[in-house]
A and B are shown apart, each in its own frame.
Chain A
């Protein structure tokens, strides 16, 4: 293929004269593409004179046939001459044509955007803002793709069909790189059907104010366009332009800018390329070397073809060099990703991760040379990546012992049980999982004691049959230090009873941070008497337990005794934790005495009724006071009585009661110190 790369290097006298009347900038980039256009043609001739004419017209002879024809490469002018030569039978185009047919610029070829076109990837539906000097709106290689425009500076000259028309060539050139139409003429862009919007912020001399540039970026964001292509820059920054880039980035615009032409230099990326919201693009030549003019620095994210790039200019085609030319290559590829549903952040990441390492320094190539084919075709669009997330453990959880890892993974194309799902701990080697049809998760057992206690990163990865991988990362805290249970609360309260027991309700709660509680043992001790009254063992599990347990000091009906309640929590490892509390028996739990007539001995004589009463008395709480033995007459009146002082819990005695009248009934009454009493009676 003929090399047309030097077409722009010299200016004709006429162009400079034009500049004389205008500006330093005006004619500087007008060249002579049409005059130099060549084509490969098959020429048929009659006789030696025709053969000579064809040879004379040829810049180079590609093939001579045994019959009267040859294939030559010749200039358009020479071809025109042959066509008018009577000794020439025919001139026909031969395959790849220069000027007569569409050319594939080396940059588009190098990033394999032509492969995208062959696969139907055209950027259709994406909107690219060419924030520049404008776009030649009626250029035959752009017209079908040119969308709306906006002008922040005036267009001057004869090409200003719209305020945003190009009066410089630069914007038109960049537009053609990003998205020249795929047709039968001129050049083809990286995208071929993306919409190209002209945002004119630079004047016909190629300069514009920070404010106008910022306004153009803001406008792009407000229109909801996908890509802002910024083939412009300055060596010093602008807070307003920086803010505008942030504004656009936040609104989903993919921002791409030229790294600058200050090369060779280091750490010299210009603005806005150097802003974090913007992809800075350096420039390469066709041999994959860094272009001599390209700025470099840590902000460079991608390299793209920028040396001797043919593209559209006002009314024609020209070959320019600059990071301005590298930038729209990336813009066109980014537009294809955005057309396929990528967000600006995803597209930026995708462009970087698919870039081709061409061996330049990081400051020169960033992630590498733009690879439009890899970015758009490899995965992504044709086969969606699977999804993966952590079902167990979940992010932030504390785990111990053996953990059942459960990963939820699925894919649009592949069945849910066919994915390759692995995980790793702290970036270690991948651990495989097994799909569990019952739970629907990919599962594995992980012994968390293999790592030290603390925070650990778990990275899950799911890969589908197309090789697309998704990842999900969480952080868990492992705690495998054996911990003892703790008694968190313990209180005892006296239970009101009417028997001779001291009873207490004990409220307790225990906990164990490693969750292996086993039992709670409760002990009730009578401190006053110095003896253990009752113990209770309660089975527990898990990390916390609580209940209320009643403990009884049987027969302890005395008032004022002090008791101690001790609770001991024990885990399955035998670790214990304990607490105790004291409680007093404050209730006077008096019980009534009982009296009993154990026997009557009738010792009456004719004058006296005399009954000897054999009695006994008892009192559970041991405060017997008196026993009264009475004889009643038939009317119920006491006719005789004997009172005996008693004490303790039991007493007995024999007393005689008598009367001259007729005794009818013997009653024995036992009374305690509280005045409670019990009686027994027997008729006589």
Chain B
């Protein structure tokens, strides 16, 4: 950490004086590419509603977690999200129901349950930090959580990104091969759940899904193959993360929102560029 602070202090900006900004910058640089990279497969497999469900279910997870342990609800939140992720996959595979509708049901049910539990006694307002998130509140020791996420994402990517990509083209192509698509998809769902829960406090329930979707959506427009898709998406995630943090510092508004607005801007420009290229 000391090394990191030393590097940052060499930059000619006013904000480098503040310890929380330095920590937040490191946090953003770890988490936004990790989420963006995972997002490539969320978008590729049409799972954007799934990450939305997991994000919103964090409210219920939080409520349940607080029942068990008021000090640190995170372990229970993780457990809850993982169980939910597996449950949704089993439900979809058994009932063959329409994913979109099922997600809609799960999303509303878990959100409502979370609100109901957390608002007992009229005390919901203390949990608004989970809705909006606050990256500036992260402290140096909590960077460890984010490092875990990054490590998990990289590990998953090295070995399973190919399988997930193949599923995104046609799931049945995996039958007759070694790995069952259901297992791959469930493993990926668990990864998404882990990312969401471990970062929700700093990113915010209302915004996390955009961090998954937007960089990948923009990268998809330009990518010629999977490699460029992955690299571009992670890069757009990184750029939006850093730019968003800076913008939020100077405008004194929410960091998460600024990050999303930057990546939305990149997406809009991407679409525009593509149309211009086409019409030339």
A-B complex is real: no
Interface, chain B (partner A; CB < 8 A): none
